[in-house]
Amino acid sequence: MTIASGFADQLIATLLISLRIAPVFAFAPPITLTKTPAVVRLLLALALGFWMAVAHADRIGVVTDEALVSVAAGELMFGLSTALALQLAFAALLTAGRALDIQVGFGLAQVADPTFRTQMPLVGSLFIYAAGAVFFATDGPADLVAIWSQSIEAAPPGSLTGPTSLGGLLGYVKSIFVLAMGLAGAVFLTLFLVDLTIAFMSRTLPQMNMLVLGFQVKTIALLATLPFVFAFSGALFLRIVRLAIDAVPELL
């Protein structure tokens, strides 16, 4: 491949590489957890694309007009795959939080998300914001930049072939949901023991309203258990974040 030269080639290379980056800023948590203007995200993606196009100018060849659309589609699919890895990790945390909400009786109480103008599970919101804090407190952003940079070295624009099987995706989904459920495992066990105790009480004290009592007791149990989950599950949060980042090359 010839070395990209001239302003037009530099502009095309910048736009193509930006397509690898933009879906993460547009769709992937934890970046989307903060209400950042779309223009700022777009400018950040273009700036990173320009920086990487200049840094890897010797690896980027000239893209002909006939192949421009297909190359752009391949770059966009790369970006969507990266966003998918992060989306699945935070979706697993939301699912675990939603299951706890239903157990405790918070199924009707949800938190309004101003970013997407939707509602989110109460406990699930705590989980994903904790994972987001771990992502930014560690090397999460730097690792994403490293993945984009190494991907240009390994597969410059126009040379992406895509995954050959779904094995990597299925294995990642299995691992990430097992970890998310394990994160909430202590709370699930506590709520199960509370339900078991209330079931025995309902046999000996049938005159009591166990449904109302159960919601109150399980709410107290949840609030008493969650601080210990966040205090002692930092390694699990970090493992989930790292697994999401490490899964990006396997999904390509």
Q: What is the mean pLDDT of the chain?
A: 82
- Residue 1 pLDDT: 45
Residue 178 falls within a domain, yes or no?
yes
Q: For residue 180, what are the β-bridge partners? A: none
* Rounded-to-integer distance, Cα 107 and Cα 109, Å: 6
In a domain, residue 1? The reply is no
Beta strands in 44-152 (DSSP E): 110-113, 118-121
Please count the structural domains in the chain: 1
Q: Is residue 231 part of a domain?
A: yes
Query: What is the number of other CB atoms lying within 10 angstroms of the CB of residue 65?
Result: 7
Q: What is the pLDDT of residues 76-117, one digit of tens each?
A: 888 888 899 999 999 999 999 888 888 887 766 555 555 555
The pLDDT value recorded for residue 179 is 92
Which pLDDT score is estimated for 108? 60
Contact 48, 22 (CB under 8 A): no
Q: Which residue has the higher pLDDT, 122 or 44?
A: 44
Q: Give a yes or no: residue 132 inside a domain.
A: yes
Residues sharing a CB contact under 8 Å with residue 178, sequence separation 6 or more, in sequence order: none
For residue 119, the surrounding DSSP H or E stretch is strand 118-121
Could you tell me if residue 112 is inside a domain? yes
CB-based contact 187:122 (threshold 8 Å)? no
Phi and psi dihedrals of 163, rounded to 5? -70, 150
Q: Does residue 115 or residue 201 have the better pLDDT? A: 201
Q: What distance lies between CA 202 and its chain's CA centroid?
A: 42
Q: What is the mean pLDDT of residues 3-24?
A: 79
> What mean pLDDT do residues 30-49 have?
87
Is residue 5 scored above 70 in pLDDT?
no
Contact yes or no for 60/157 (Cβ under 8 A): yes
Residues 6+ apart with CB under 8 A from 219: 104, 105, 106
Q: Of 21, 50, 26, 32, give the one whose Cα is nearest residue 90.
A: 32
List the structure tokens of 156. Answer: 């410059």
Q: Show the domain range for 82.
A: 6-251
Structure confidence at residue 240 (pLDDT): 92
Residue 153 lies in a domain: yes
Domain assignment of residue 78, yes or no: yes
